[in-house]
Amino acid sequence: MQKKIKSALISVFYKDGLEPLLQTLQQQQVAIYSTGGTQQFIEALGIACIPVETVTGYPSILGGRVKTLHPKVFGGILGRRYEESDLQEMQAYQIPELDLVIVDLYPFEETVKQTEEEKLIIEKIDIGGPSMIRAAAKNFRDVAVIASKTDYTLVTEWLNDQQGELTLEQRRLLASKAFEVVMQYDIAISNYFNRKEQVLRYGENPHQQAVFSGNLNRIFQQLHGKELSYNNLVDVDAAWQLVADISNQKSFCAIIKHTNVCGAALASDGLSAWERALAGDPESAFGGVIVFNQTIHANMATAMNEIFFEVLIASSYDADALAILQQKKNRILLQLQDGHTQEYSAWMQKSVLNGDLKQNMDSGNYAEWNEVGARPCTDREKSDLIFANTLCKHLKSNAIALVKDEQMIGKGCGQTSRIDALRHALAKAEQFGFNTKEAVLASDAFFPFDDCVRIADEAGISAFIQPGGSIRDKDSIQYCVDHNLGMVLTGMRHFKH
């Protein structure tokens, strides 16, 4: 369903990139409504503009806090052109139809980065902007919305190519983008109000200063031990992300060191899971972070008490277990809150160059399960492959994980080549006395050549799981076919840097 754009409401903080779109709207004789600085910008270009206050009958008031919050504005956005009663009311109250809403939001996150003065930060909480964006997005059947300057060029091209019209699919796409913009804006505001800035003893190294801003109590309760350090927090985050990714109903234990999994296992009970996880790499476990998906019992506490570790994370603790574990005054004991996985953010970010880099979290473990080897994988292999793929996802790239009977027996991580990661994983398995015959292998990314499957086959590996996507996938697949090996392609890469 095409929609002819006859009118537009424009109120933006950032004016850069707007002029070509304004020129197009002028050429197509679109009536433009605006206010404040945007109105001045438009008129300075020699483009006719209708002040919003001539529609509402009210000027901008309260120091600019209230400009567009008025029934005649929102009626023009939310009015349903296909409902006769809406059209009659709009006519009765002299509400103009608004076909295009171009609104961005006050720079709240930028202001938070630039100042700690709360008065300035609060004034950058946009009220009218999100309301107009949501209203226009809700009524996408009749209204188009642009909530980001990154879409100015795209919409300009559409209007020029389609004689001033936008399709229903285009309006729906813009609406989905608009809701995403508002969601991220609200999350940033919520994070600001919920933050608790904690000055840490030091950063990653003693000469570095560090603070943490956030609400840890929504994820876990600290039952015992010293204050969490910078490195503790980083490793606890890695452990928490891993345990949240384990859907298996068996007892699960993992040991984290420098954000990598150095030991992990599934078992019928917690003590066995601990013993099998520790056996995977007892050297690296020293000073690590331990995580379980279950209650800690006294027998488990007694066994763990024999080694030095920094942090233990579990869903709960028996009283007897707590008494044993609290014998070390600095040992940190964390109890996961009910519903802790709901705190798992949809986004992750890091500082790079002179800005922030954001991306969606790496959710999901595989997009497909495509068996391309010589034979179907056995039930044991499937169980091990699923576990290995999950563990490999939580290792630094390049990463290889070896699993046998739901126990990680070797891993290679943080290597600059995949074959080095494999060599490291096999060496680890040999170091701690594991037989790799009939073990399985997971890779966080595709095999660029068949050398990895060849070397793994020589070590007795029986099945592989990897995303695929190499132009030479057929080489690794053919090797598996020729040597009676199983191979699963997942269609989902898990780089981690």
d(CA 67, CA 50): 14
Q: Which DSSP letter does residue 66 get?
A: B
Q: Find how far residue 268's CA is from the centre of its chain.
A: 32
- Token readout for 301 is 């506490």
Which is catalytic among the residues 6, 15, 258, 297? Answer: 258
- Token readout for 253 is 């234990």
Specify the 3-state DSSP secondary structure of 199.
strand
H helix or E strand, kind and range, residue 466: strand 463-466
**Has 424 been annotated as catalytic?**
no
Q: Which DSSP letter does residue 405 get?
A: T
Q: Which segments of 36-171 are extended strands (E)? A: 50-51, 100-103, 144-146, 165-166
Q: From residue 491, give the alpha-carbon distance in Å to each of 149, 212, 286, 379.
A: 33, 36, 36, 21
Strand-strand pairing, 31-34 and 7-11: parallel
Q: Find how far residue 387's CA is from the centre of its chain.
A: 22
d(CA 181, CA 262): 39
Q: Are 306 and 453 in contact (CB under 8 A)?
A: no
Single-letter code of the amino acid located at 6: K
Q: Are 198 and 212 in contact (CB under 8 A)?
A: yes
Q: From residue 280, give the alpha-carbon distance in Å to each of 264, 268, 412, 428.
A: 7, 17, 12, 8
Residue 362 neighbours by CB distance under 10 Å: 16
Which is catalytic among the residues 6, 138, 297, 328? Answer: 138
Estimate the crossing angle of helix 451-458 against helix 418-431, to 10 degrees.
10
Catalytic residues: 138, 258
